[in-house]
């Protein structure tokens, strides 16, 4: 697939490099216990080395068997593995071929079918229209400049009444840095584009775009759920690391929206 623009090219290269390095979000979850996954879906507390808290809110996992689920820009063989083990009909769309390979690896390991499509989240024309009961998206919207582009594409592939779970970063703390004793804001709020040292390009999305964009396209916002990262045990993490940062800095939130028109 040819990336649609320089933004996609840069971020595709970033994630292909992460795959080669074995970055955490590129490693498929191949040690999941089906019973623990089922307990998670039932709302029971579970203890596991796998960060299943990333699939919050877990009530979305209930009664997901035989439902059509799209994991959007969520390659890596992680979220798809949970949905696959719960009996969902899983499709994953991701910009990065290496990430999709991890999803296929997880599916082969556990023995469930999967459809893997290489696509930019801003163009889902390769996916069937009105086909999905749930679109599950992690915080990958940080890699696109306009959330409305993605919202519009999601609306096309969701069935009427389907649910969209999308995670966002907290815009006020989209960029923070450890100064030796505390975390401080590292960029003016008016600054929306970050060209990362590793070549990636990220964007800050403000609250009016995040929420009004959904409403304008025809979504009904059902609820907002704060990321539970601050509840995790990252006590041994070094200052400045992601784990340490999430003990002190808000870790984002997920919106659950229903497509109504």
Cα–Cα distance between 103 and 27 in angstroms, integer?
9
pLDDT tens, residue by residue, 189-225: 999 999 999 999 999 999 999 999 999 999 999 999 9
Q: Could you give the percent of the chain with pLDDT greater than 90?
A: 79
Query: How many CB atoms sit inside 10 A of residue 56's CB?
Result: 18
Cα-only R_g, the chain? 18
Domains of the chain and any CATH numbers: 6-259 (3.40.50.150)
Rounded to two decimals, the pTM is 0.94
Q: Tens digit of pLDDT for each residue in 237-255? A: 889 988 888 888 887 999 9
Taking the C-alpha atoms of residue 249 and residue 252, their distance in angstroms, rounded to an integer, is: 9
Say which residue, 229 or 98, is predicted with more confidence. Answer: 98
Residues facing residue 231 across a β-bridge: none
pLDDT in tens, 29-64: 999 999 999 999 999 988 888 889 899 999 999 999
Residues 111-152 have pLDDT tens digits of 999 999 999 999 999 999 999 999 999 889 999 999 999 999
Residue 233: Cβ within 10 Å count: 8
For the chain, give the number of residues.
261
Mean pLDDT of 16-24: 92
Whether pLDDT at 160 is above 90: yes
């Amino acid at each position: 697939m040819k990336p649609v623009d320089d933004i996609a090219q840069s971020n595709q290269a970033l994630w292909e490099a992460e795959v080669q390095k074995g970055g955490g979000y590129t490693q498929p979850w191949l040690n999941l216990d089906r019973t623990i996954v089922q307990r998670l879906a039932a709302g029971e507390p579970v203890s596991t080395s796998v960060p299943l808290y990333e699939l919050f809110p877990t009530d979305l996992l209930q009664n997901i068997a035989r439902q059509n689920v799209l994991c959007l820009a969520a390659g890596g063989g992680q979220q798809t593995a949970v949905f696959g083990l719960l009996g969902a009909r899983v499709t994953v769309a991701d910009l990065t071929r290496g990430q999709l390979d991890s999803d296929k690896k997880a599916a082969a390991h556990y023995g469930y079918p999967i459809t893997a499509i290489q696509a930019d989240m801003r163009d889902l024309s390769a996916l069937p229209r009105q086909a999905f009961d749930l679109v599950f998206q992690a915080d990958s919207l940080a890699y696109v400049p306009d959330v409305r582009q993605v919202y519009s594409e999601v609306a096309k592939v969701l069935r009427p009444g389907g649910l969209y779970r999308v995670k966002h970063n907290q815009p006020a703390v989209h960029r923070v840095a450890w100064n030796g004793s505390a975390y401080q804001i590292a960029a003016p709020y008016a600054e929306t584009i970050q060209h990362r040292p590793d070549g990636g390009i990220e964007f800050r999305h403000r609250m009016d775009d995040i929420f009004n964009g959904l409403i304008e396209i025809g979504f009904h916002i059902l609820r907002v759920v704060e990321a539970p990262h601050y509840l995790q045990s990252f006590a041994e993490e070094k200052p400045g690391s992601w784990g340490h940062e999430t003990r002190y800095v808000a870790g984002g939130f997920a919106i659950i929206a229903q497509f109504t028109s």
